[in-house]
Amino acid sequence: MAAPAYPLGMTRQLLLGQILRFSGDPFAAPWQEVTHHERRGAVLIEDGRIADVGAADALRAAYPEAEVTDYGDGLMMAGFVDAHMHYPQTGIIASWGKRLIDWLNTYTFPEEMRFGDPAYAEAAAERTLDLALAHGTTTLASFCTIHPESVDAWFAAAEARGMRVVGGKTCMDRNAPEGLRDTARTAHDQSAALIARWHGQGRAVYAITPRFSPTSTRAQLEALGALWADHPTCLMQTHLSEQHDEVAWVHELFPEARDYLDTYEAAGLLGPRGLYGHAIHLTARERARLAEIGAALVHCPTSNTFIGSGLFDMAGLKTAGVGVGLATDTGGGSSFSMLRTMAAAYEVAHLRGVVLHPAQLLWLATEGSARALHLGGTVGHLGPGAEADLAVLDLASTRAIAQRAERAEDIWEAVFPTIMMGDDRAIRAVRVAGRDAVRPDR
């Protein structure tokens, strides 16, 4: 990545509090071996990056000149990484009563139509990022709208906050209303211009973004596949097999395709840097192919229950070696909080007969999502060399949570009530590239 364009604090800062961090994937190894908790720990930040992590006493002695911030009992973690969301849908979150295709037509498309207005897009991008920070989320991968202005607004708002975000122009050339359709050519050319403007600028990462196969012709998918081949460091984000009606529609629209994934694969849109949101109703071939390619699926549990999509097979897919990130999918998702999202992931897994450990949930919301975005070790990671994006959790943020956490005998029992019942009140502080993030809500 290019050197950050935003100003970095030059002083050494030492943050004190509890620490929870990961050295490996708790789905692949026993969680005891890859999780590390320090009751009185410290994180040293230098030039916007984490320089050292360890016991508070040891780091205080090693860096006596560092400026100290003491969070007391606060639990310092990597900031949350939301691997799939739609910032243009912030204004229509929690819209009632529809399933996917009707929800898109009734609520989403009319709202997305408004993002050709740069002022409207700017206000929505700023509001979304401020909400995300208030919920402890420091990196987000967002779909924008068809309008290049919506992409400029997203990256500009992130740059102003020093945040590492992913984004891309959402391309659609059919099955969308007039005013929300581009063409194969304009989707390619406008995306190419946005890649030149934003990809690798400061902390920005561009994702080539066909919305999903029903709203793209084969020609458009192929144009975007060719663009990805020309820009292989870009990510590619889309949707896959979210609802049964949608899968059936894809079969009608692409009768030649073996399955839904094949509509992307045939167009050059399947690769290790590909991100496929939802991926609930997969065939055996699709699962095997995703594992073979090393692509990432993004689980959006509050969305899957809110719009009635189904139950993601976390255990089966992780065991098969498929990469999985976690995401809010706002506004199809019903919460900006990755805590609430972890709770929903826990509940969805339970309904499939699998109990996820809090270590696995927290790993998914940080390291798992970062790996999905090919940003592993850069964000979502509390360790030397990572960018210093942190969330500090208050594990007793409400009376209900506090009275349960009080009985906790270890860190997992202490943190689980916050995962299940917490929201933005549980976020005590947020650091972005080492700096205190502005909390407009406080």
- Interface residue list for ligand GUN (CB under 6 A): 86, 100, 104, 108, 211-212, 239, 242, 303, 329, 332
**238 membership: H or E segment, kind and range:** strand 235-240
The CA radius of gyration of the chain, in Å to the nearest whole number, is 21
Q: Which residue is it, tokens 């973690």? A: 77
Which does residue 108 bind out of ligand GUN, Zn ion, none, counting CB within 5 to 8 angstroms by kind? ligand GUN
Which does residue 366 bind out of Zn ion, ligand GUN, none, counting CB within 5 to 8 angstroms by kind? none
Q: Which of 183, 181, 207, 176 is nearest to 194 (CA)?
A: 207
Residues near 173 by Cβ (< 8 Å), separated by ≥ 6?
A: 181, 182, 183, 184, 187, 215, 216, 217, 219, 220
Strand order in the sheet with 49-55: 49-55, 35-46, 13-22, 67-78, 390-393, 427-432, 435-436
CB of 277 to Zn ion, least distance (A): 5
CB of 248 to ligand GUN, least distance (A): 14
Of 31 and 107, the one with the shorter C-beta distance to ligand GUN is: 107
CB of 238 to Zn ion, least distance (A): 9
Residues near 349 by Cβ (< 8 Å), separated by ≥ 6?
A: 314, 315, 355, 356
Interacting span for Zn ion (CB under 5 A) from 130-138, 213-221, 325-333, 420-428: 325-333
Minimal CB distance to ligand GUN: which residue?
332
Of 341 and 378, the one with the shorter C-beta distance to ligand GUN is: 341
Contacting Zn ion within 218-277 (CB under 5 A) = 277
CB of 68 to Zn ion, least distance (A): 42
User: Which conformational region is residue 103 in: left (phi greater than 0), alpha (psi within -120 to 50 degrees), or beta?
Assistant: alpha
CB of 86 to ligand GUN, least distance (A): 5
**Do the Cβ atoms of 34 and 26 come closer than 8 Å?**
yes
Which does residue 66 bind out of ligand GUN, Zn ion, none, counting CB within 5 to 8 angstroms by kind? none
Which does residue 303 bind out of ligand GUN, Zn ion, none, counting CB within 5 to 8 angstroms by kind? ligand GUN
Q: Tell whether the torsion through CA atoms of 74, 79, 81 and 87 is positive or negative.
A: positive
Contacting Zn ion within 273-292 (CB under 5 A) = 277
| 3-state class percentages of the chain: helix first, strand second, coil last, to nearest 5 | 40, 25, 35
Which does residue 346 bind out of ligand GUN, Zn ion, none, counting CB within 5 to 8 angstroms by kind? none
Of 142 and 397, the one with the shorter C-beta distance to ligand GUN is: 142
CB of 161 to ligand GUN, least distance (A): 24
Footprint on this chain of Zn ion (rule: CB under 5 A): 277, 329
